[in-house]
Amino acid sequence: MQPEVPEPKAPESTPAIPITLSALKAVAINAPLPDYPYQAKNAHISGSGVCVLVVDTASGRVTSATMARSTGNQILDKVTTNTLKRWRFKPGTLSQVQVPITYE
């Protein structure tokens, strides 16, 4: 079972311009989804959280991925931040984005 990634929302500091999943896909060059860790899945651990990505606008590389709202499990948080740090965007498109994530 893969984690569900709902539509991202605009970061708090950005004026109310929502970022839809289709808009995010349009500017994403590489956006792999986290794998549901075997040990968490096997232990029936689930959770939802929000990861905030800070993007270098010049290169489109994610410079920081932190959990703004934890999934409630350190393993899920770690796999989320490690995977989302690998995301890449078209240069000059985003500086920050919130990505909600759910593991079920």
pLDDT band at 22 (very low <50, low <70, confident <90, very high): confident
The helix (run of H) or strand (run of E) holding residue 40 is: helix 38-42
pLDDT over 90 at 62, yes or no: yes
| Domain boundaries along the sequence of the chain | 21-103
Residue 42 carries which DSSP code? H
pTM of the model: 0.79
Greater confidence, 33 or 3? 33
Whether 1 and 37 have beta carbons less than 8 Å apart is answered as no
Q: Which residue has the tokens 């920081």?
A: 64
Considering just the CA atoms, what is the radius of gyration of the chain in Å? Answer: 13
Provide the residue count of the chain: 104
Kindly state the average pLDDT of the residues 10-26: 56
User: To the nearest whole percent, how much of the chain has pLDDT over 90?
Assistant: 66
CATH architecture of 21-103: 2-Layer Sandwich (3.30)
